[in-house]
């Protein structure tokens, strides 16, 4: 049995031994056995092929070293490695997973304690102690052995790296991951890992009291940061963003057993960083096995707090450099984190948890940053610096690709780059189809940083400015002055080109981190967007005022999202007109428009066209509601197509009615950025399209090269003969390819 003093003595002895370079592991096992009063102490290392090999022992037969091998999951040692959990058994031989290895001579030992050795989520081996007498190791002893396992990570990692078979095969072989494609594009580059800090330089500390003081100072810094967040949330509308969530988070920060456990580890001799990292990795292990969403959330909070604590301990350290063209891998990623990494130069992003990718995906799209979601367990399989291919078109991630695969992708990337260079010349070419139909291509944006794209791609303006993005990026609602400054900058940079500002579209998958919209079974159809604005008019009026102030006498276009009834549009419009009466100078021209994205509006279209100055079809939401198919569900991606005959009928009807009413109509959903869809829309009479900046030139290349009259004839024939086909995409695509239209 070890006491706190014995534990410190063991750790101090081990540290001294390890400081002498290359202390043999057999000596280390002898010291552990002696201090733990155990007859046996053994170390197994993970070897190529997911095999655990006995690499050192005190107490088992020496000839078993290098011979005894277990697969991950085989025997109790393999079980500890497979689950990442401690195995603590007074009578190991009666456990169903017990696997007897005669060469070890272990039959006289009853008690077994096995603790996995891991670093940065990666398995390295297992530390085992065994006793003749049946006994269960108590909490103090468990704690000590887990700390010892942390110390063993260093020599085992070195052993894996110098293995003649290369490193641990699990992290050297190519791995393919099927993923949800959140933003298209191709990136080939080294990976960087989010949230996995490098192993702390010092695992043990000489002075536990000083270390405890560092930990407490960092915890206090972190709590102050949280208090500031809570204070800043004061102006958020009740219900939409109550302080409860933050308060609950703050409570987790305040205590919960984990803070005490960190302190205990420091008292046992670990550095503050190592103690916090151990707590975080334990939490991660538990999260892997928990399905209950509530508990997962709480554990996610703790993991998040551990990250904040490490950052607070690291205050002043410069963040590591990001290699050029790097691909960021993350378990979860907030919008502010993504912006931060983008500023440091990443070229693509891969997130394990697709559901949490909601906000980050919106930002990634805004930044044209290729992104994959739902790539489970990729963090455990990757090492920083591994080469990876992120294929955002096919929804695939390839880690450590084989040379021929890498070669093929590099050729594809070069071809793409050559095509992009050719397209660049198109930016200032006239926007007309071959037989002379004019079209207008605009961009969707949400951040001031995106405005450069207007000139780069020669866009006609901003067809959709998503005002919620800047708030999601900063993680809070902006006040009137902050909003007005942002919108004014956008108008300045647009230099007279139209900007259609859409009022806040929060809710659904776009929640501010501190927002608590309450539990909603179907958040996309819940209390979101304009519904919030109309129920909390002060919030909407503040935004409208900011827009009018930003215009400062210039023309202003404001568009309302998620309008479901004419009454809602009229109420929103009235709020805008009331604000206009108060703001001087009034805009030279005020255009008030509506998104068409709620199906009910389709049956009120004439009334809407009579009331609105312009309308824009939000095909993302319109399609999700028409087909009752969650736009974020990767399992449904591609199942329903905008090129379905009934949808084409619907779009044509909208184009005709808008033209008859002389109300400008555009389409600003993701579909506008697909060259083939853009061609179809042009035939149907929808010639103003707003899309991600990256899509403008490819769409322009298709529209300027197509003979629209011939394409119209094909489309009309297909629509007449459609029968019950679900989509006209395949035959239209074949026609375009046969006629050399670049898709």
State the residues that interact with ligand PEP by CB under 6 A: 464, 466, 505, 597, 618-621, 668-669
Residue 585, preceding bond cis, omega within 30 degrees? yes
Nearer to Mg ion, 282 or 621 (CB): 621
Residue 78: closest CA among 102, 56, 47: 47
Binding partner selected for residue 619 from Mg ion, ligand PEP, none, CB under the kind-specific 5 to 8 Å limit = ligand PEP
Considering the complex, what minimum distance in angstroms separates the CB of residue 620 from Mg ion? Answer: 5
d(CA 147, CA 418): 54
Considering the complex, what minimum distance in angstroms separates the CB of residue 466 from ligand PEP? Answer: 5
Binding partner selected for residue 358 from Mg ion, ligand PEP, none, CB under the kind-specific 5 to 8 Å limit = none
d(CA 231, CA 225): 10
Matching residue, tokens 């899309």? 691
Binding partner selected for residue 563 from ligand PEP, Mg ion, none, CB under the kind-specific 5 to 8 Å limit = none
Q: Residues 219, 220, 224, 227: is their CA dihedral positive or negative?
A: positive
Nearer to ligand PEP, 568 or 597 (CB): 597
Matching residue, tokens 């205990």? 264
Considering the complex, what minimum distance in angstroms separates the CB of residue 557 from Mg ion? Answer: 17
* Residue of 342, 359, 428, 739 with catalytic role: 359
Neighbours of 230 (CB within 10 A): 15
Interface region with Mg ion, contact rule CB under 5 A, candidates 271-279, 462-470, 621-629, 673-681:
621-629
Residue 670 contacts Mg ion per CB under 5 A: no
For Mg ion, which residue has the nearest CB?
A: 621
Nearer to Mg ion, 38 or 616 (CB): 616
Nearer to ligand PEP, 437 or 620 (CB): 620
Binding partner selected for residue 262 from ligand PEP, Mg ion, none, CB under the kind-specific 5 to 8 Å limit = none
Long-range CB contact pairs, 678-683, < 8 A, 24+ = 678/702, 678/703, 679/703, 679/706, 679/708, 679/711, 679/732, 679/736, 679/741, 680/643, 680/648, 680/715, 680/728, 680/732, 681/651, 682/433, 682/437, 682/439, 682/708, 683/708, 683/711, 683/712, 683/715
Considering the complex, what minimum distance in angstroms separates the CB of residue 137 from ligand PEP? Answer: 55
Residues 370, 186: contact at Cβ < 8 Å? yes
Binding partner selected for residue 604 from ligand PEP, Mg ion, none, CB under the kind-specific 5 to 8 Å limit = none
Binding partner selected for residue 304 from ligand PEP, Mg ion, none, CB under the kind-specific 5 to 8 Å limit = none
d(CA 417, CA 565): 46
Nearer to ligand PEP, 308 or 510 (CB): 510
d(CA 126, CA 45): 7
Nearer to ligand PEP, 130 or 529 (CB): 529
Considering the complex, what minimum distance in angstroms separates the CB of residue 469 from ligand PEP? Answer: 9
Considering the complex, what minimum distance in angstroms separates the CB of residue 690 from ligand PEP? Answer: 8
Q: Where are the beta strands (DSSP E) in 72-204?
A: 87-89, 111-119, 122-131, 175-178, 180-183, 186-193
Helical H segments across 23-74, by residue range: 25-35
Matching residue, tokens 């969403």? 293
Query: What token pair was written down for 162?
Result: 């110098």
Q: Mapped to the 3 state alphabet, what secondary structure does 415-437 carry?
A: HHHHHHHHHHHHHHCCCECCCCC
Residue partners of 297: CB distance under 8 A and separation at least 6: none
Considering the complex, what minimum distance in angstroms separates the CB of residue 626 from ligand PEP? Answer: 12
Binding partner selected for residue 668 from Mg ion, ligand PEP, none, CB under the kind-specific 5 to 8 Å limit = ligand PEP
Q: Taking CB under 5 A as the criterion, which residues in 366-395 touch Mg ion?
A: none
Q: Within 13 Å of residue 109, how many CA atoms lie on the same side as its CB?
A: 24
Binding partner selected for residue 466 from Mg ion, ligand PEP, none, CB under the kind-specific 5 to 8 Å limit = ligand PEP
d(CA 729, CA 265): 61
Q: Mapped to the 3 state alphabet, what secondary structure does 672-695 carry?
A: HHCHHHHHHHHHHCCCEEEECHHH
d(CA 728, CA 720): 11
Considering the complex, what minimum distance in angstroms separates the CB of residue 373 from ligand PEP? Answer: 16
Residue 143 contacts Mg ion per CB under 5 A: no
For ligand PEP, which residue has the nearest CB?
A: 618
Helical H segments across 165-292, by residue range: 208-232, 244-254, 256-267, 272-288
Nearer to Mg ion, 487 or 560 (CB): 560
What is the biggest distance separating any 2 CA atoms in the chain, rounded to whole angstroms?
92
Interface region with Mg ion, contact rule CB under 5 A, candidates 296-304, 329-337, 571-579, 591-599:
591-599
567 bridge partner residues: none
Question: Binding mask 593-612 vs Mg ion (x if CB under 5 A, - otherwise)?
Answer: ----x---------------
* Residue of 41, 137, 342, 668 with catalytic role: 668
Binding partner selected for residue 53 from ligand PEP, Mg ion, none, CB under the kind-specific 5 to 8 Å limit = none
Residues 181, 361: contact at Cβ < 8 Å? no
Residue 523: closest CA among 571, 562, 559: 562
Query: What token pair was written down for 207?
Result: 């002075």
Nearer to ligand PEP, 398 or 598 (CB): 598
Considering the complex, what minimum distance in angstroms separates the CB of residue 362 from ligand PEP? Answer: 8
Nearer to ligand PEP, 464 or 736 (CB): 464
Considering the complex, what minimum distance in angstroms separates the CB of residue 55 from ligand PEP? Answer: 55
Residue 621 contacts Mg ion per CB under 5 A: yes
Q: Residues 606, 607, 612, 613: is their CA dihedral positive or negative?
A: positive
Helical H segments across 560-644, by residue range: 566-582, 605-611, 619-626
Q: For 389, phi and psi rounded to 5 degrees?
A: -115, 120
Nearer to ligand PEP, 270 or 643 (CB): 643
What number of helices (H) and strands (E) belong to the chain? 26, 22
Query: What token pair was written down for 27?
Result: 């000596």
Nearer to ligand PEP, 116 or 461 (CB): 461
Binding partner selected for residue 704 from ligand PEP, Mg ion, none, CB under the kind-specific 5 to 8 Å limit = none
Residue 618 contacts Mg ion per CB under 5 A: yes
Nearer to ligand PEP, 58 or 466 (CB): 466
Considering the complex, what minimum distance in angstroms separates the CB of residue 722 from Mg ion? Answer: 28
Binding partner selected for residue 476 from ligand PEP, Mg ion, none, CB under the kind-specific 5 to 8 Å limit = none
Helix (H) or strand (E) holding 69: strand 69-71
Considering the complex, what minimum distance in angstroms separates the CB of residue 624 from Mg ion? Answer: 9
Binding partner selected for residue 400 from ligand PEP, Mg ion, none, CB under the kind-specific 5 to 8 Å limit = none
d(CA 615, CA 618): 10
41 in catalytic set: no
d(CA 346, CA 369): 9
Contacts with Mg ion: how many residues (CB under 5 A)? 3
Residue 39 contacts Mg ion per CB under 5 A: no
Binding site for Mg ion (CB under 5 A): 597, 618, 621
Enumerate the active-site residues. Answer: 359, 668
């Amino acid at each position: 049995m070890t006491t706190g003093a014995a534990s410190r003595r063991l750790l101090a002895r081990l540290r001294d031994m390890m400081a002498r370079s290359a202390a043999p592991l057999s000596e280390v096992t002898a010291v552990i056995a002696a201090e733990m009063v155990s007859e046996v102490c053994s170390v197994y290392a993970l070897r190529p092929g997911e095999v655990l090999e006995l690499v050192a022992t005190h107490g088992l037969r020496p000839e078993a070293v290098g011979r005894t091998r277990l697969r991950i999951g085989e025997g109790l040692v393999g079980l500890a490695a497979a689950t990442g959990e401690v195995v603590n058994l007074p009578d190991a031989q009666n456990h169903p997973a017990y696997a007897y290895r005669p060469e070890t001579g272990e039959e006289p030992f009853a008690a077994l304690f096995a603790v996995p050795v891991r670093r940065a989520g990666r398995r390295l081996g297992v530390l085992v102690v065994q006793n003749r007498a049946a006994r269960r190791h108590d909490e103090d002893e468990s704690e000590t052995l887990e700390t010892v396992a942390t110390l063993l990570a260093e020599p085992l990692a070195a052993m894996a790296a110098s293995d003649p078979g290369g490193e641990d095969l699990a992290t050297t072989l190519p791995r393919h991951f099927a993923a949800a494609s959140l933003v298209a594009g191709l990136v080939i580059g080294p990976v960087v890992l989010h949230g996995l800090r490098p192993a702390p330089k010092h695992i043990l500390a000489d002075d536990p009291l000083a270390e405890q003081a560092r930990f407490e100072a960092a915890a206090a810094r972190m709590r102050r940061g949280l208090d500031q967040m809570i204070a800043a949330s004061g102006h958020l509308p009740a219900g939409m963003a109550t302080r409860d969530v933050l308060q609950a988070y703050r409570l987790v920060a305040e205590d919960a057993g984990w803070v005490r456990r960190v302190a205990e580890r420091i008292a046992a001799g670990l550095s503050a960083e190592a103690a916090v990292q151990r707590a975080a990795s334990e939490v991660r292990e538990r999260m892997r096995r928990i399905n209950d969403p509530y508990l997962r959330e709480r554990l996610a909070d703790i993991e998040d707090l551990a990250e904040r604590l490490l950052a607070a301990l690291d205050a002043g350290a410069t963040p590591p450099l990001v290699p050029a063209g790097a691909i960021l891998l993350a378990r979860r990623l907030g919008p502010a984190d993504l912006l931060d990494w983008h500023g440091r130069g990443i070229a693509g992003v891969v997130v394990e948890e697709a559901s949490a990718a909601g906000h980050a995906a919106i930002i990634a799209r805004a930044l044209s940053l290729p992104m994959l979601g739902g790539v489970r367990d990729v963090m455990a399989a990757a090492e920083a610096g591994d080469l990876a291919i992120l294929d955002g078109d096919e929804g695939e991630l390839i880690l450590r690709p084989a040379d021929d695969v890498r070669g093929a992708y590099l050729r594809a990337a070069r071809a793409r780059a050559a095509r992009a260079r050719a397209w660049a010349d198109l930016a200032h070419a006239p926007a007309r189809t071959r037989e002379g139909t004019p079209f207008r291509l605009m961009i969707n944006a949400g951040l001031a940083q995106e405005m450069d794209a207007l000139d780069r791609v020669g866009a006609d303006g901003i067809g959709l400015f998503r005002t919620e993005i800047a708030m999601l990026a900063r993680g809070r609602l902006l006040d009137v002055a902050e909003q007005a400054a942002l919108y004014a900058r956008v108008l300045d940079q647009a230099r007279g080109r139209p900007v259609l500002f859409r009022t806040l579209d929060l809710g659904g998958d776009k929640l501010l981190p501190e927002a608590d919209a309450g539990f909603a079974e179907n958040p996309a159809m819940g209390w979101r967007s304009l519904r919030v604005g109309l129920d909390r008019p002060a919030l909407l009026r503040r935004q409208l005022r900011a827009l009018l102030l930003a215009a400062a006498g210039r023309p202003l276009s404001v568009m309302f999202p998620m309008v479901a009834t004419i009454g809602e549009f009229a109420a929103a419009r009235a709020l805008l007109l009331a604000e206009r009466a108060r703001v001087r100078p009034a805009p030279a021209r005020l255009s008030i428009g509506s998104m068409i994205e709620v199906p009910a509006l389709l049956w009120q279209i004439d009334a809407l066209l009579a009331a609105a100055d312009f309308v824009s079809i939000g095909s993302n939401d319109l399609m999700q509601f028409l087909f009752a198919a969650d736009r974020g569900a990767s399992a449904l991606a591609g199942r329903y197509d905008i090129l379905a005959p009934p949808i084409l009928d619907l779009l044509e009807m909208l184009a005709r009615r808008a033209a008859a009413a002389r109300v400008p109509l555009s389409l600003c959903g993701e579909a506008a950025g697909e060259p083939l869809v853009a061609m179809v829309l042009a035939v149907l009479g929808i010639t103003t399209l707003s899309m991600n900046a990256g899509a403008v030139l490819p769409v322009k290349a298709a529209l300027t090269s197509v003979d629209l009259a011939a394409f119209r004839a094909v489309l009309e024939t297909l629509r007449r003969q459609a029968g019950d086909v679900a989509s006209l995409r395949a035959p239209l695509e074949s026609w375009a390819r046969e006629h050399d239209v670049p898709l």
